[in-house]
């Protein structure tokens, strides 16, 4: 007599995820990891998602592309409406989309400040609120994963709006977790370290900054977008059912120095 092995707590089969900023970089890697674990993935982005679609489908899962500017007021309705129409809803949300603008503090413009706070903080709150409301209305559990930053803990240089937004997202994650945990919705965050993406291209192109950063990373290398995959699957899975309000650094040991 044989018995089937118990399902892995990291198995996401039957789950449907939304990943914002999914056209490239960290978002694309997160989407691919969730698909590899078994989830169908809705890809929210302004750019071309064809490569991410291919990665999701290569794992035998469905990909839904939602063209959307998350800075617009109608974005949450657009995203949730599309997912509900296609799949009846979703139970995993990854708030990854974000922008960065670099300039000295005394030259930083109001428009640049407002743009970053709008996309990196306000849009995350509004989409998460709509996503959670849909789950609560149906009495279903779910997972929200916000993408914070090392600058949720540190000040940084020439990135005042980004630091403010990511620091706010850390507080938002904890506040949301306090209210949503009793409703069986887990809210947590990831804090990527220095990852080789478009957002860090300027730093990697500067030999002085590149070397200074690299020398501080105990792992001895810049991170790759794929390094976020395992942590994303963990926080999205039943393995994290009793994990609420944490921020998990994936930083090669940067914060330990």
In angstroms, the first-to-last Cα distance of the chain is: 53
**CA distances (Å), origin 128, targets 2, 118, 169, 181, 220:** 43, 14, 12, 14, 35
Q: What is the mean pLDDT of residues 226-234?
A: 98
- Dist CA 43 CA 53 (whole Å): 8
Is 242 known to be catalytic?
Answer: no
pLDDT at 202: 83
| Order of strands across the sheet that contains 185-192 | 63-67, 40-45, 16-20, 92-95, 142-147, 185-192, 247-250
pLDDT at 220: 96
Give the pLDDT confidence of 125-139 residue by residue, as tens digits: 999 999 999 999 999
Active-site residue, selected from the candidate residues 131, 162, 194, 222: 162
Give the pLDDT confidence of 101-152 residue by residue, as tens digits: 999 999 999 999 999 999 999 999 999 999 999 999 999 999 999 999 999 9
pLDDT at 104: 97
pLDDT at 5: 59
- Dist CA 34 CA 10 (whole Å): 10
Give the pLDDT confidence of 198-228 residue by residue, as tens digits: 878 888 988 888 999 999 999 999 999 999 9
Provide the whole-model pTM. Answer: 0.95
With beta carbons less than 8 A apart as the criterion, state whether 42 and 83 touch. Answer: yes
pLDDT at 3: 54
pLDDT at 7: 82
- Dist CA 25 CA 155 (whole Å): 23
Q: Tokens 């998602």, residue?
A: 49
Q: Is the pLDDT of residue 18 over 60?
A: yes
């Amino acid at each position: 007599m044989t018995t089937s092995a118990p399902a892995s707590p990291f198995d996401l089969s039957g789950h449907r995820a939304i990943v914002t900023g999914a056209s490239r970089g960290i978002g694309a890697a997160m989407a691919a990891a969730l698909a590899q674990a078994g989830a169908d993935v809705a890809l929210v982005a302004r750019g071309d998602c064809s490569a991410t679609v291919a990665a999701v489908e290569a794992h035998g899962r469905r990909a839904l592309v939602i063209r959307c500017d998350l800075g617009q007021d109608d974005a949450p309705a657009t995203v949730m409406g599309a997912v509900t129409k296609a799949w009846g809803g979703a139970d995993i949300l990854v708030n990854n989309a974000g922008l960065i603008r670099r300039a000295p503090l005394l030259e930083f413009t109001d428009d640049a400040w407002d743009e970053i706070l709008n996309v990196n903080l306000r849009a995350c709150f509004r989409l998460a609120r709509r996503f959670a409301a849909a789950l609560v209305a149906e009495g279903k559990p779910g997972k929200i994963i916000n993408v914070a930053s090392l600058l949720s803990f540190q000040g940084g240089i020439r990135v005042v709006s980004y630091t403010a937004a990511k620091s706010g997202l850390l507080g938002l994650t904890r506040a949301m977790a306090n209210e949503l945990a009793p409703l069986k919705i887990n809210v947590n965050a990831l804090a990527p370290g220095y990852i080789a993406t478009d957002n860090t291209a300027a730093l990697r192109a500067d030999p002085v900054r590149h070397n200074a950063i690299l020398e501080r990373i105990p792992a001895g290398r810049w991170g790759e977008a794929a390094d976020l995959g395992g942590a994303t699957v963990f926080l999205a899975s039943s393995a994290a059912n009793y994990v609420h309000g944490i921020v998990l650094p994936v930083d090669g040991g940067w914060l330990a120095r």
